[in-house]
Amino acid sequence: MNRRGLAVIAVVAVLGLAGCSSPTGPDVLAREATAEDELPETVSLISVDTDIKAGSARLLTTYDDVEYFAAKSSTGGSACLISVPVGLPGRWRAGCAALATGEEIITLTGFDDSQATLINDGVDAGRPKYDGWTQIHPNVLYKPR
């Protein structure tokens, strides 16, 4: 086989492997946990049908008196968003969705009807598509009610 044929096979193999790689979610989920990443005791992941991996939560930001955490599912194929109102931790919300190569992962509606969306790394939130949304963290968009 000539060199050109080998080069074509090598390119096809690399593209094939790239197509098989699964998304890992926002990079923040790969960093080491700190004390501030602990979820409040009122957030009981046992009673939630989201399959969140214990200890995987990472505090992203606090905005408008709500703490926003990202977490991994125990299977690793999903990313989760958890919102916990400061002073009202019993009104927390959580949701998970399968990781994909798209921009948005999961959107939660808060107890006050505001919305928060967990987004993948590198999303340009300045595009018209996101008019009305505020980027409160590189991985979180917020829209008031």
Q: Is the pLDDT of residue 69 over 50?
A: yes
* Helical H segments across the chain, by residue range: 3-20
Percent of the chain with pLDDT over 70: 81
> What are the angstrom distances between the C-alpha of 46 and each of 43, 50, 53, 77?
9, 9, 10, 19
Q: C-alpha 35: how far from its chain's center?
A: 20
Would you state the pLDDT for residue 16?
A: 38
| Higher-pLDDT residue of 62, 54 | 62
3, pLDDT greater than 80: no
pLDDT at 5 over 60: no
Task: Tell me how crowded residue 83 is: count the other CB atoms within 10 A of its CB.
Answer: 24
pLDDT, position 76: 76
Q: Residue 141's pLDDT is what?
A: 98
Beta strands per DSSP E along the chain: 58-63, 66-72, 78-85, 93-98, 104-109, 115-119, 134-137, 140-143
CB 88 within 8 A of CB 82: no
Q: Looking at residues 119-142, what average pLDDT do you find?
A: 96
Neighbours of 56 (CB within 10 A): 19
pLDDT value, residue 64: 93
Chain CA centroid to CA 87, Å: 24
For residues 72 and 53, the answer to whether their CB atoms sit within 8 Å is yes
pLDDT of residue 1: 52
Average pLDDT, the chain: 83
Q: Return the pLDDT at 13.
A: 37
pLDDT at 51: 78
- pLDDT cut 90: percent of the chain above it: 61
Note the pLDDT of residue 18: 39
Which is more confident, 6 or 86? Answer: 86
Cβ atoms within 10 Å, residue 57: 23
Mean pLDDT (whole number) for 40-48: 80
